[in-house]
Amino acid sequence: MTTATAPSDRSGISRLWNTTGITRLRREGAVAPITAFLAFFLVYVIINPGLLTRFQLQTAGNLVVPLALAALGQLIIVLVGGIDISIGAIMSLANVVFATAMVSLPVPLAILAGIAAGLACGLFNGYLVAYLRLPAIAVTLASAFIIGSISREVMDRPGGGITPEFYLATSGELLPYLPISIFWLAIIATGMWFVLQRTALGRHIYGVGSNIDSVAAAGLNAKRAQLAAFALSSVVVSLGAIMLAGSTITGDPRSGDSYLLSSIAAVALAGASFTGGRGSIIGTILAACTLGLVGSLLFFAGINSYWQYVISALIVISVVGIPVIWKRLYLALRKAHA
Partner 1 sequence: MESQSTGGAATKVAAPPAPPSAQLVAANLTKHYGAVTAVDDVSFYCLPGEVHALVGENGAGKSTVAKMLAGAVSPTTGTITAGGVELNTGRIRDARLAGVSCAFQELALVQDWTVAENLALPDGSPLRGFSQRGATRAAEALLAELDLPHIDPRAQVRTLTLADRQLVEIARAIGAKPKLLILDEASSALAPPGVAWLFSRIRELTAVGTSVIYVSHRLKELAEIADRGTVLRDGRVAGEFSRGKWTENQLISMMAGREASRAFPPAPPLSVSERPAVLDVDNLIADGINGISLSIAPGEILGIGGLQGHGQAELLRALYGAIPATADQWSIDGHSVKHLTPERAVRLGAGYVPEDRKTEGLALEMGVGENLLAPWFRTAQLGGTPRLAREKPWMAGVLGSLSVRTRGPLEKSGALSGGNQQKLVFGRWLDRDRRLILLHDPTRGIDVRAKQELYTAIMGLSAAGVGVLWFSTEVEELVHVCHRVVVLYEGRVADELSGARLTAEAVVGAAVGSASQSKEQL
Q: Is 335 in the site for partner 1 (CB under 8 A)?
A: yes
Q: Is 190 in the site for partner 1 (CB under 8 A)?
A: no
* Nearby residues of 80 by Cβ (< 8 Å), 6 or more positions away: 205, 208, 209, 225, 226, 229, 230, 276
- Contact at 8 Å (CB) between 289 and 240? no
Q: Is 200 in the site for partner 1 (CB under 8 A)?
A: yes
Q: Which of 34, 66, 7, 42 is nearest to 248 (CA)?
A: 66
Determine the interface stretch with partner 1 among 38-46, 90-98, 143-151, 193-201 (rule: CB under 8 A): 193-201
Residue 331 falls in which region: left (phi positive, over 0), alpha (psi -120 to 50) or beta: alpha
Min dist. Cβ of residue 256 to partner 1 (A):
29
Q: CA-to-CA distance for 247 and 229, rounded, in angstroms?
A: 27
Q: CA-to-CA distance for 270 and 13, rounded, in angstroms?
A: 23
- Nearer of residues 81 and 240 to partner 1, judged by Cβ: 81
- Nearer of residues 55 and 194 to partner 1, judged by Cβ: 194
Q: Is 3 in the site for partner 1 (CB under 8 A)?
A: yes
Element (H, E) at 15: helix 12-17
How many residues at the interface with partner 1, by CB under 8 A? 35
Q: Is 216 in the site for partner 1 (CB under 8 A)?
A: yes
Exposure of 279 in the CB half-sphere (CA atoms within 13 A): 37
- Nearer of residues 229 and 294 to partner 1, judged by Cβ: 229
Q: Which of 281, 277, 256, 255 is nearest to 267 (CA)?
A: 281
Q: Is 133 in the site for partner 1 (CB under 8 A)?
A: no
Element (H, E) at 16: helix 12-17
**Contacts to partner 1 from residues 227-256, by CB under 8 A:** 228
Q: Name which position in 15, 54, 157, 198 contacts partner 1 (CB under 8 A).
A: 198
Q: Name which position in 15, 16, 23, 303 contacts partner 1 (CB under 8 A).
A: 23
Q: Name which position in 133, 219, 306, 336 contacts partner 1 (CB under 8 A).
A: 219
- Nearer of residues 38 and 200 to partner 1, judged by Cβ: 200
Exposure of 9 in the CB half-sphere (CA atoms within 13 A): 6
**Contacts to partner 1 from residues 273-332, by CB under 8 A:** 277-278
Given the rule CB under 8 A, which residues bind partner 1? Answer: 1-4, 20, 23-24, 27, 197-204, 206-207, 210-211, 213-221, 224-225, 228, 277-278, 335
